[in-house]
């Protein structure tokens, strides 16, 4: 049986342990690095809006003047996802 090395997508640490399965049967992992801000993650998300790369693209497109509907259409995510990510960014800058 082949063993796959799992890295945290946020801090790239190898200190990762299994943490059960989701309702859809996907493996959930936990990052054990003390300096990492994320608790759990999944390697293969069903919805693209959960991926950190897509979240970064949402912010980049918003800063470059793309509208909410345009961003949602290009990245193939819902408009609600785009709005929520922009709100998170604005609130984090205010605090």
56 or 4, which is more confident: 56
How confident is the model over 8-47, as pLDDT tens digits?
A: 888 888 889 999 998 889 999 999 888 887 788 888 877 8
Parent domain of 21: 7-44
The whole-angstrom separation of Cα 52 and Cα 28 is 16
Q: Does residue 2 have a pLDDT over 70?
A: no
Residue 31's DSSP bridge partners are 16
In a domain, 2, yes or no: no
- The reply to whether 55 and 89 lie within a common domain is yes
Residue 66 sits in the same domain as residue 89: yes
Contact 48, 76 (CB under 8 A): yes
pLDDT band at 58; cut points 50, 70, 90: very high
Residue 79: both structure tokens together: 């408009």
Coil, helix or strand for 20?
Answer: strand
Q: What average pLDDT does the structure give for the chain?
A: 87
Verify that 53 and 81 share a domain, yes or no.
yes
Residue 34: inside a domain, yes or no?
A: yes
| CATH number of the domain to which 90 belongs | 1.10.10
pTM here is: 0.63
Q: Are 54 and 46 in contact (CB under 8 A)?
A: no
Number of domains in the chain: 2
């Amino acid at each position: 049986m082949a063993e796959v090395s799992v890295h945290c997508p946020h801090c790239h640490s190898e200190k990762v342990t299994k943490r059960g399965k989701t309702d859809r049967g996907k493996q959930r992992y936990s990052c054990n690095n003390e300096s990492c801000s994320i608790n759990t993650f999944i390697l293969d998300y069903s919805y693209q809006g959960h991926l950190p790369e897509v979240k970064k693209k949402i912010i980049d497109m918003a800063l470059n003047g793309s509208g909410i509907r345009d961003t949602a259409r290009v990245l193939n995510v819902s408009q609600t996802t785009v709005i929520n990510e922009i709100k998170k960014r604005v609130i984090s800058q205010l605090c």
